[in-house]
Amino acid sequence: MRRWSQAGPVLLLLVNTALAEDPDWPTLPVTPHSDLQAVDANGTGTFPMTDPIRVQGVLLNRPQDMLDPTAGTPVYMGGTWQVFLQADATGDFGGTALWMGQYIGRMSGNHPAGSYNDAEWVAELDRITIDDATGRRMRPGDRVEVRARAPGLFFRGKTNINEQHIKAPEQDFDAVLLGPAVGLPAPTAITLSDVKDAADEFLFDSTRQTGAERYQASLVEISGVSFVNPAGWGPGASLTLTDGAGRTLPVLLGRSRGFVAHPALAGPFSIVGIFDQEDTDGSDGWRAGYRLWVMGFNGQEFIVPIQPGDTDGDGDVDLRDLAWLQSCYAGAGAPPADAWCDDFDLDFDGDVDEDDLVEVLTCLGGPDSPVACP
């Protein structure tokens, strides 16, 4: 059983040091996402981030499609990992982002001692992505329970589950597989007029019954839009949607190889993604900064990639995917051939080896023949 430590830095007085041990997780009430993400009139989170919580929902994305979780990534935070969990309980709505950063010691001035080294980071990601009971790596469409000890922080408009930037077992969150492959929730159909007014300002409702807050951290399908300018199209691109009537919305393209394999669509079209918020200007509260994360594209429509090894986002794992894997396969300890090879680095350890190959082969079906990976 995990123990809470009295030692170590306290961040924003949010770290709970009062409990002597883990709660009895099965008897701890499940926190609705709508409660966890509640805000006041300024858009500031109101949920007390002091005691352990557990939340349930459906995973919406593969972490490598959103950020680069590879150990030792040469950026400020090293490897970064993020997934979204969408509410699926009756009466609940929205969802919550789960975030991890390898070099979290930088946030408290305790780096490298307070950060994860490469081996520790790989172990941490295995711990939160592989279900203890089944050994299955969790993926989009799985129903999951998250048990958060710290449990997280409010940041730029939404409350995230994280370790409060402290590397310690008592700050960990765990993921438990409740139901494999239950399926992604149907995207909520909206238009830009549901989240923006005629002056192109975000519609903000602190009750979260209408406007942009209503859809935060959930899958949406926005119809009748096109790109203002598709220049820069590709993995990791930042683009802008328009409805042709003066309303716009920022779009972040994920890291799927589908954005390399296929050119951008000409509008108008419908686009599916995770509605998110990161308001970088809090001078007037946290009532703006909404955006759309788009995870995949198959050349005809925007999708959420699910299966390990489906690198072109076409919904199957076939010989085209295996050919790309072969070009990336270098063996244990050898760095991948190029930046897009981390599509196949499923355990985020910086190589593409037999461990990754085995996971991909379990999903092999063929063209237009998606399979249910075990």
Q: What are the phi and psi torsion angles at 258 (to 5°)?
A: -60, -25
CA 368 to centroid of chain Cα atoms: 26
Contact 151, 53 (CB under 8 A): yes
Q: How high is the pLDDT of residue 350?
A: 80
Residues in Cβ contact with 239 at an 8 Å cutoff, skipping those fewer than 6 apart: 227, 228, 229, 230, 232, 233, 250, 251, 253
Please indicate, yes or no, if residue 237 is contained in any of the structural domains.
Answer: yes
Residue 174's H or E segment, with its range, is strand 173-179
Are 158 and 276 within one domain?
A: no
CATH, residue 254 = 2.40.50.140
Contact 66, 188 (CB under 8 A): no
Are 174 and 248 within one domain?
A: no
Are 297 and 165 within one domain?
A: no
Q: Residue 267 carries which DSSP code?
A: S
Contact 202, 171 (CB under 8 A): no
Contact 366, 360 (CB under 8 A): no
User: Which alpha helices (DSSP H) does the chain contain, by range?
Assistant: 33-36, 118-129, 211-214, 258-261, 319-328, 354-361
Q: Into how many domains does the chain fold?
A: 3
Closest to 341 in 3D by CA, of 324, 362, 356: 324
Please indicate, yes or no, if residue 17 is contained in any of the structural domains.
Answer: no
Q: How high is the pLDDT of residue 18?
A: 40
Are 269 and 138 within one domain?
A: no
Contact 303, 313 (CB under 8 A): yes
101, β-bridge pairs: 80
CATH, residue 359 = 1.10.1330
State the CB neighbour count (10 A cutoff) for residue 353: 18
Are 31 and 148 within one domain?
A: yes
Q: How far apart are CA 278 and CA 236, in angstroms?
A: 16
Low-confidence ranges of the chain (pLDDT < 50): 1-20
Are 70 and 148 within one domain?
A: yes
Residue 332 amino acid letter: A
* Tens of pLDDT, residues 85-115: 999 999 999 999 999 999 999 998 999 999 9
Please indicate, yes or no, if residue 2 is contained in any of the structural domains.
Answer: no
Are 41 and 79 within one domain?
A: yes
Q: How high is the pLDDT of residue 28?
A: 98
> What is the domain extent for residue 349?
307-374
Are 169 and 127 within one domain?
A: yes
Are 37 and 143 within one domain?
A: yes
Q: How high is the pLDDT of residue 13?
A: 34
CA 2 to centroid of chain Cα atoms: 26
Q: Which residue has the tokens 């994360």?
A: 293
